[in-house]
Amino acid sequence: MDIWPYSGRENGRVTDAEHGLLWSPIADGILPGEGSTALETTVSGSTWTTQPGRIHINGRVLHIDEVQSGPVPAAASATRYVTIAAYVDTTQSPWTYGVRPVLGVVGGGPPSLPKPTGAYEVPLMTFTVAATGAVTVRSDDRVFLDKAGKPMVTGWRNLSLVGAFTSGSVTPQYRLTFDGKRLEFRGQIRRNDGGQITGAANGSTLATFPSQYGPNVTGWMATGASLTGTGTAGAVRVDVTPGGQLVLWTQDTPTWVSIDGGVWRD
């Protein structure tokens, strides 16, 4: 395993801040030329495993040249999200880097990963551990870069649904279009018990997607939803956050929400 560049090893010929500025236009993600299994992460039994590969992280290239693995976190009192992430920690001397699990709050959603403030993490895969110990893979979070250092335009990928939410009549999905500049969504989300969605007056997180795909600032979509007590649909607001969340806002209590729409990332 190795990291490049690192001024602590290069006698400081170019500072780490200068490297960061030089590579800032390049997105975080799997380098061009890497195969489809690069940094692919799977869970089997009580062990997670990440395959070798090269990834760009905040102006650095991290080369994982051997299979990495670790134990699945123990079950807690409620379901917990776990994200396996590639990381570089520049707060340590010498730096530390590699692959590690990042745990979410017990009973909460996926963990938030820090941006460039010393310890920088890029998600590879997310799974949940239920109170019973059952493990469910939620999403493949890898982002593959094109030769220009931009996220590749993707086909439709499934969103990671949060908590009690599940797929409606159309599978909730996302994709990148317009040379990676636009993020689009489609599908329908409902509660897994078929009940009404409450609490959205204060914002209710429906689903997540890789934060590398998020817009520079929060965007929002006006989408359709069922209206309480009627057989018709009304409009609701769904925010798309830079951190990779779809957040529902409505004064009503719909039984389903459409996420058909999109936002520009730049």
Q: Where in the chain is the domain with CATH 2.60.520?
A: 2-140
Q: What angle do CA 147, 149, 142 make, to 5 degrees?
A: 100
Q: What is the pLDDT of residue 19?
A: 63
Q: Which residues of 236-258 are buried (b: 16+ CB within 10 A; e: fewer)?
A: bebbbbeebbbbbebebbbebbb
Say if CB 61 and CB 31 are below 8 A apart: yes
Q: What is the pLDDT of residue 117?
A: 62
Distance (Å, whole) CA 32 – CA 164:
37
Name the class of domain 157-264. Answer: mainly beta
Say if CB 160 and CB 207 are below 8 A apart: yes
Mean pLDDT of 92-114: 88
pTM of the predicted protein model = 0.67
- What residue has token string 């309480």? 228
Q: What angle do CA 138, 139, 140 make, to 5 degrees?
A: 145
Q: Which residue has the higher pLDDT, 251 or 6?
A: 251
User: Is the pLDDT confidence value at 46 over 70?
Assistant: yes
What is the CATH code for 2-140? 2.60.520
Q: What is the pLDDT of residue 3?
A: 79
Q: Where in the chain is the domain with CATH 2.60.40.2460?
A: 157-264
Token pair in block for residue 8: 């602590």
Say if CB 104 and CB 98 are below 8 A apart: no
